[in-house]
């Protein structure tokens, strides 16, 4: 399966991955128009900063043993056995947030605006050239690699 491999040392916290992620999930948006002016614009990846350790990119791993899938009571979270990615079906989700509770890396979160869904990385599967965040990293700290399962 394809997974985004992270090189933490290269991350400079520029947040371009966040901008790209928001833009990728905003209809008809590009970098000039992506709405960065509202708390309702959400990114599925995020960068944590700590004075000692520097910048840490936290991205969904689409885990081999996904805790989110194992905790979902509506069938909204499902691991696609072909692509290996964990898919999220908003229409099924009942916003119980057990997945948020169970993700050991704290990747998941409820949506800010309504708290009726989960913000979940979809690996930009709808996009022909793959995850938007990867393309937007000026340091190439993240890249897509084929991982054997």
Partner 1 sequence: MKIVIIGASAAGISAAKTIKTSEPDTQIVIISKEDHIHSRCMLHKYLGHERDVKGISFVHENFFAENNITWLKNTTVVDLDTDKKFVRTNDNQAIYFDKLLIATGASYFIPPIPGLREAKNVYGFRDLKDAQLLDSECKTAKNAVVIGAGLVGMDAAVALLERGLKVTVIEMMNGIMGLQLDEKSSQAYQQLFEEHEAEFLLSDKVTSVDLDEAGKGKTIHLTSGKSVCADVIVIAAGVRPSFDFVERSGIATKNAILVGDDLQTNIKGIYAAGDVIGISGIWPNAMKQGKIAAINMLGEKLRYEDRYALKNTTNFYGLTTLSLGNINPKPEENFDVLIREDRNNYQKIVMKSGVIHGVIIQGNINSTGFWQYLIKNKIDVSGMDKDVFDLSYADFYKVDSNSGEYLYAI
Partner 2 sequence: MNSNFNCKTCASADQKLETFISNLSQETSHHRMEGQSVKCGFGLQGICCRLCSNGPCRITPNAQKGVCGATADTIVARNFLRAVSAGSGCYIHIVENTARLLKKTAESNGVLKGKQALAKLASLFEIDESDEHICAGKIADMVLADLYKPDNVKMELVEKMAYKPRFDRWTELGILPGGAKSEVFTGVVKTSTNLNSDPVDMYLNCLKLGISTGLYGLTLTNLLNDIMLGEPSIRLASVGLRVIDTDYINIMITGHQHAMFAYLQDRLIEDDVIAKAKAVGAKGFKLVGCTCVGQDLQLRGEHYQKIFNGHAGNNFTSEAILATGAIDAVLSEFNCTLPGIEPICDELKIKQICLDDVSKKANAEMKPFVFEEKENQSNEIIDSIIESYQTRRGKITLNMLPDHGNDDTLTGVSEGSLKSFLGGTWKPLIDLIVSGEIKGIAGIVGCSSLTAGGHDVLTVGLVKELIAKDILVLSAGCSSGGLENVGLMSPSAASLAGPKLRAVCESLGIPPVLNFGPCLAIGRLELVATELAEAIGIDLPQLPLVLSAPQWLEEQALADGAFGLALGLPLHLGLPPFVTGSPVAVQVFTQDMLNLTGGQLIIDDNAQSAANTLNGIIEQKRKELNI
* Choice between 19 and 72, CB closer to partner 2: 19
Q: Which residues bind partner 1 (CB under 8 A)?
A: 3-6, 8, 46, 48, 50, 52-53, 56, 58, 61, 63-64, 67, 70-75, 81, 92, 94-98, 100-110, 114-115, 145, 147
CA distances to 30, 65, 73, 79 from 92, rounded to whole Å, are 29, 21, 10, 15
Shortest distance, position 21 Cβ to partner 1, whole Å: 15
| 72 and 92 Cβ atoms separated by less than 8 Å | no
Shortest distance, position 80 Cβ to partner 2, whole Å: 29
Who contacts 130 (Cβ-Cβ below 8 Å, separation ≥6)?
2, 123, 124, 144
Counting contacts by CB under 8 A, is residue 14 touching partner 2? yes
């Amino acid at each position: 399966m394809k997974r985004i491999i992270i090189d933490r040392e290269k991350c400079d916290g520029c947040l371009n991955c966040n901008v790209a992620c928001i833009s990728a999930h905003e209809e008809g948006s590009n970098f000039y128009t992506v709405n960065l002016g509202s708390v309702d614009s959400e990114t599925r990846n995020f960068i944590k900063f700590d004075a000692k350790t520097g910048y840490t990119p936290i991205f969904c791993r689409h885990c081999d043993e996904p805790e989110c899938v194992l905790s979902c009571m509506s069938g909204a979270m499902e691991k696609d056995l072909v692509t290996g990615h964990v898919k999220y079906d908003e229409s099924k989700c009942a916003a119980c947030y057990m997945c948020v509770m169970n993700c050991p890396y704290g990747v998941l979160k409820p949506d800010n605006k309504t708290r009726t869904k989960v913000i979940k990385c979809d690996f930009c599967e709808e996009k022909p050239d793959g995850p938007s965040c990867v393309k937007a990293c000026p340091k190439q700290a993240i890249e897509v690699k084929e991982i054997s399962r």
